[in-house]
Amino acid sequence: MAEQALLIGTFLAIFIPLSISAWREHQRLRDAGLIQKRPKPTRNQIIAFAVFLTVLWGITLWYIIGTAQFIFPLIPIIGTIALIYQIRSYRNDNRKAA
């Protein structure tokens, strides 16, 4: 147990500062105009991603129920967060256009 905690602590101590500095560098380059901003999501892209995510959640739940073994659904959770972000971005873009 202590080895796992040490390994996770080391991993976080290395990758969190690296991730933060990479994000800041990306924002700086984006603000300077050296990196293009991401394309705005369309309604069809959001619908397709929502359908894919629903299927992914279904497969995950089917596996958990079928094997009676719990797995943490990290990818579906991250996908759900990304879908919410895309929906908010789509709504904000439409409000600005109106």
Mean local confidence (pLDDT), 16-31: 91
Query: Token pair of 85, please?
Result: 């972000």
Cβ atoms 90, 40 nearer than 8 A: yes
Mean local confidence (pLDDT), 6-23: 91
Q: What is the pLDDT of residues 29-75, one digit of tens each?
A: 988 888 887 788 899 999 999 999 999 999 999 999 999 888 889 99
- Note the pLDDT of residue 51: 97
- Note the pLDDT of residue 57: 96
SS (H, E, C) 59-83: HHHHHHHHHCCCCCCHHHHHHHHHH
Distance CA 74, CA 68 (A): 18
